[in-house]
Structure 1
Amino acid sequence: MIDKLIFTPDDVDLARSPLRRGITEPTYVLGAFNPGFTRLANGNLLMMVRIAEALVDPVRGDSVHAIRWTAAGYVLDPHPLAQVDMTDPRQFQIRGGNHRVLALTSLSWLLPVELDPTGERILAVHYDRAIEPAASYQDYGVEDARISRIGDTWYMTTCSVSAERHCTTLHTSRDGLNYRLEGIVLDHQNKDMILFEGLVGGRFMALTRPLGKVYFAYSADSPHVAGPSINYAQSPDALHWRPLDTPGIRPRKGSTSAMKIGGGTQPILTDAGWLLIYHGVKARESVGIYRSFWALLDRDDPSRILRIEDTTPLLEADPALTAPIAHQMYLPTPVVFTTGLVDAGDHYVVVSGEADLACRITHLSKDLFA
């Protein structure tokens, strides 16, 4: 079985980056990670890789700079060093004011990378089909694609980041490679909206994970603990969404990763029900330890959880895989974030973001889910 890094920051040709339209200062790839994943009609696999591109020298004089998209091209916005906290390498916090305000040290865009049918080899990197910001609600980047094929259409959700809002957007494609932006589908912070790979009762279904600052306590005899959880939503057209009244997958007492959970792969329909791999976070330092777990949902009523495996991880970060690029590591804790799942007969091909740095491809035997 295969378990390796398939795409790393060194595989990105920044001379072909969309940021060259406006940014002449040197940049580097902070991470090439968290790819959406699907099988194309020709049998090949496609990763839609998040490229987080950052300035080599963001600090000039007494200011730190953030990259921002505009309709005329990319620009740099200065923020006085005396007013920011740069503890986290991925972002900086602007002090003062009435709210927690962040700016990013990088801008993300999406790069389609085509693999052979097994996921072992890169066949093509489609810079001409890269997805970059295209509207003011994306002026700080497009992040974290998740792809589901439903019928003859590929549906891709993304996170769009801007000063206007932090929202979920939808792209669609008729071939899995060329995508059209449909616009905003969720107008609030939701990092993990993922469409089920098929209709349920004639309707689109999706995992969601709304974020907030306050969570209310469960009763002492509840098996659950408060915190971010996976919810469900349904839609007649994939554009207009209504949350289900029934709760979804929630952090549980006794789980090894109950600090935070959220979706990972698109749910796919198996003989036993809807299978999905999701992430759980164990508290440690500022980021936490991210690991992958799995659950099985009823095929006709996905709000019914048939099985959940949230104590023994399905996948964990592997330092041996990132050893060759250890000099590029910037996170203090182990992170694996599984983002796509494709059926390959007697096994599944899954793709993950490893260390928020690179793309990891893994073959998992179906026996693991028996």
Structure 2
Amino acid sequence: NGVLFPVRQDGRYLLLERPNKKIHRDMPATGDAIVLSSSPDLVHWRTEGVVLKGRPHFWDELIGSGPPPVLTEHGWLHLYHGVATHFQAANIYQVGAVLLDRDDPTRVLARTDENLLEPRELWELTGQVPSVVFPSGMFLAEGRVHLFYGAADTAVGYAVSSLDRLVAACRPVKRRAEGE
């Protein structure tokens, strides 16, 4: 799970990724977080830090990146998938959003408390992997966010929302005071 930012920042490529605990032993467990890595050449990578963590007992206990982030006047809009693992029957994959600081993408400005998209239609609920929707492709046009998403690992869906609606769904994230 990794997606490149569409532009370089300060001459470096930026990558949002879900590290594999087997390879990166000093990172959170696989699926627990999305980290930002940077590279001068797409070969040598350095982890810059954890950007987003999964939230126990929420819709996004486990998380992974979706399509490349889109730069907006509010910051970088990034759609990600969250997995609710606390249901006995099966895991449920859903879609959420996060706004990252334009100049420091390790800084989360706002995040959705609730999912934006969840499996509801029969073709999202049944298939190779049931109860799954995950963001795959996104573009912004005329103030609207167009999303292509996978459904049940069997089909592709399409959804549209206004950018304003997505931004409004994101709640500001409180920053911890220095030293906390």
Matched, 1:232 2:36: yes
When residues 235 and 366 of structure 1 are mapped into structure 2, their CA distance, relative to the original with a 3 A threshold, is same
**Distance in 2, Cα, partners of 1:289 & 1:255:** 11
- Do the aligned partners of 1:227 and 1:251 also contact (CA within 8 Å) in 2? yes
Q: Which residue of 1 aligns with 2:145?
A: 348
Larger radius of gyration: 1
Q: Which residue of 2 aligns with 1:330?
A: 128
Q: Which residue of 2 aligns with 1:205?
A: 14
Q: Which of residues 93, 103, 107 is equivalent to 1:304?
A: 107
Q: Which residue of 1 aligns with 2:65?
A: 263
Q: Give identity over the alignment, percent.
A: 35
Could you list the structure 1 runs, at least 4 aligned residues long, displaced by more than 4 angstroms after superposition.
none
Question: What SS does the corresponding residue of 1:279 show, helix, strand or coil?
Answer: strand
Q: Which residue of 2 aligns with 1:317?
A: 119
**Distance in 2, Cα, partners of 1:354 & 1:339:** 10
Aligned residue identity for 2:117: L
Q: How many pairs were matched up?
A: 161
RMSD over equivalenced CA pairs, Å: 2.5
Q: Which residue of 2 aligns with 1:163?
A: none
Q: Which of residues 8, 29, 47 is equivalent to 1:243?
A: 47
Question: What SS does the corresponding residue of 1:334 show, helix, strand or coil?
Answer: coil
CA drift of 1:362 comes to 1.1
**Distance in 2, Cα, partners of 1:315 & 1:342:** 17
Question: What SS does the corresponding residue of 2:20 show, helix, strand or coil?
Answer: coil
Matched, 1:278 2:80: yes
Q: Which residue of 2 aligns with 1:188?
A: none
Aligned residue identity for 1:229: A
Where does the alignment leave 5 or more consecutive residues of structure 2 unmatched? Answer: 169-180
Q: Which residue of 2 aligns with 1:150?
A: none
Aligned residue identity for 1:334: S
When residues 264 and 227 of structure 1 are mapped into structure 2, their CA distance, relative to the original with a 3 A threshold, is closer
CA drift of 1:249 comes to 0.3
Question: What SS does the corresponding residue of 1:248 show, helix, strand or coil?
Answer: strand
**Distance in 1, Cα, partners of 2:14 & 2:89:** 33
- Do the aligned partners of 2:66 and 2:134 also contact (CA within 8 Å) in 1? yes
> TM-score under structure 1 normalisation?
0.40
